[in-house]
Amino acid sequence: MAAQENSHPSVAILTVNYNSGPYIRDFLASLRAITYPNYRLVVVDNASDDGSVEGISWLFSQAVVMRNGENLGVTGGHNVGIRYCLEQRFDYILFLNNDTVVNEDFLDRLVESADERTMVAPKTYLYGRPGLLDDTVGDFDWWRGIWRGWLYGKPEPRGFKRPRAVSMASLCCLLVPTAVFGDVGLMDERFFMYYDDFDFVARAKAAGYRLRLNPAAVVHHRKAAASGGLESPFKVYYANRNRLYLMRKHSSRLRFRLFLAYFLATRVVHFVSYLARGQGRQLKAMLMGIADFFRGRLGRTHELAYFR
């Protein structure tokens, strides 16, 4: 790692690791090539059993590696890392999924757009699908709880090449000034994973922090690699449960009731679709997620292996 330079703000690249063996080498190789001189990789491992955490220590010896005795999810893992980064007084935390590959100047571009009140997201492409975007940044519809103008799998729309303010970003890759955590607190561990990032960004914006996109910073993302795929039962369960929780947390009583009517109507469509395609595990996961929300069963309820 390059020696720290006072002219460059210090950045902790924070990633949560859980059995990332199939893609961790590519992630670390891309980080070794980045040009920003003042960063430290901080890895929080959630009790991986595939040898990936040992591989990280060997392949990237300068990394700070913290090991949890159990799987704390994305939210719990992030909170362990955030506390460490605050103790070390980093200027920024860069949340970064380890199923990504980054361009060598991506961190320079993010930092140049950031300040003590501004969070910055990159342009994120789908890994192995040149020119097609991932849905990690854009405008969020707080009536329906979904992206407005969904970008997933689409080429860049007009105007996407210029830096601009945006209303929402995921934590797949997001540069955040560390001061934000003193104002809004840590991640809400009741999410475990999925929709926790939307909750965090909403809280930060409510506290007066800005959110911008700098498309000159480029990341490539293996979508849902850590959760078994886009329509894995694991993702279906947590996405349904946590979308309900997010909307209840950030909506008035009337708005949540309107959202709930819309949400349940669209679940009927998904129910029929899962039946027609013979996806019984996804159907069960969807119903379990909805039921657990209404039971108040949040946080870690089921592991990935439960749905296999």
Quick: pLDDT tens for 69-114: 999 999 999 999 999 999 999 999 999 999 999 999 999 999 999 9
Rounded CA separation 209/115 (Å): 10
Does residue 60 have a pLDDT over 60? yes
> Using 50, 70 and 90 to split pLDDT, how confident is the model at 2?
very low
Please indicate, yes or no, whether residues 51 and 126 belong to a single structural domain of this protein: yes
pLDDT (average), residues 284-290: 96
pLDDT, mean of residues 251-272: 97
What are the Cα distances from residue 207, in Å, to 91, 92, 212, 279?
18, 17, 16, 42
Using CB atoms within 10 A of its CB, is residue 175 exposed (0-12), middle (13-18) or buried (19+)? buried
Q: What is the pLDDT of residue 148?
A: 92
Considering the domain architecture, whether residues 141 and 212 belong to the same structural domain is answered as yes
In Å, what is the CA distance from 307 to each residue of 80, 191, 228, 273, 284?
Answer: 26, 18, 10, 19, 10
Asked whether residue 1 is domain-assigned, the answer is: no
Percent of the chain with pLDDT over 70: 94
CA-to-CA distance for 31 and 41, rounded, in angstroms?
Answer: 9
Q: Per-residue DSSP letters for 25-62?
A: HHHHHHHHT---SSEEEEEEEE---SSHHHHHHHH-TT
Q: Is residue 198 part of a domain?
A: yes
- pLDDT at position 58: 93
**Statement to judge: residues 97 and 40 lie in one domain:** yes
Give residue 4's pLDDT band: very low, low, confident or very high (50, 70, 90).
very low
Nearest alpha carbon to residue 244 among 284, 289, 283, 307 = 289
Are 96 and 173 members of one domain?
yes
- Domain end, chosen from 210, 227, 244, is at 227
Residue 4 lies in a domain: no
Confidence at residue 301, expressed as pLDDT on a 0 to 100 scale: 93
For residue 5, being part of any structural domain is answered with no
Q: Which of 227, 255, 288 is the last residue of a domain?
A: 227
The stretch 182-192 carries a mean pLDDT of: 97
pLDDT at residue 217 above 90?
Answer: yes
Give the pLDDT of residue 3.
36
Distance CA 212, CA 120 (A): 5
Cα(73)–Cα(200) distance, rounded to whole angstroms? 15
Structural domain for 279, as ranges: 233-307
Q: How many domains does the chain have?
A: 2
Contacts for 252 with CB less than 8 Å, ≥ 6 apart = none
Same-domain pairing of 49 and 151? yes
The answer to whether residues 114 and 48 belong to one domain is yes
CATH label of the domain that carries residue 48: 3.90.550.60
Q: What is the pLDDT at residue 7? A: 82
Are 22 and 126 contained in the same domain? Answer: yes
User: Please, which pLDDT band fits residue 307 given cuts at 50, 70 and 90?
Assistant: low
Q: For 154-176, write each residue's pLDDT tens digit.
A: 999 888 889 999 999 999 999 99
Residues 139 and 256 in one domain: no
Asked if residue 200 has pLDDT above 70, the reply is yes
Q: Is residue 189 part of a domain?
A: yes
E strands in 48-207: 64-68, 92-96, 100-102, 118-126, 137-141, 146-148, 164-165, 168-169, 173-177
For residue range 115-141, list pLDDT tens digits in order: 999 999 999 999 999 899 999 999 999
Mean pLDDT for the stretch of residues 5-10: 80
The pLDDT confidence band at residue 303, using thresholds 50, 70 and 90, is: confident
- Same-domain check for residues 123 and 268: no
Q: What is the pLDDT of residue 160?
A: 87
223 plus 240 within the same structural domain: no
Tokens 């929780």 sit on residue = 245
Is 207 part of any domain? yes
243 & 118 share domain: no
Scan for tokens 């070794």, then name that residue.
Answer: 32
Q: 182, 203, 227: which is the final residue of a domain?
A: 227
Contact 146, 170 (CB under 8 A): no
Q: Let me know whether 132 and 200 are in one domain.
A: yes
- Residue 278, domain member (yes or no): yes
pLDDT of residue 225: 62
Residue 6: inside a domain, yes or no?
no
pLDDT at 149: 87
Query: If pLDDT is split at 50, 70 and 90, which confidence band does 6 have?
Result: low
CA dist., res. 64 & res. 41, Å (int) = 6
- Per the document, the length of the chain is 308
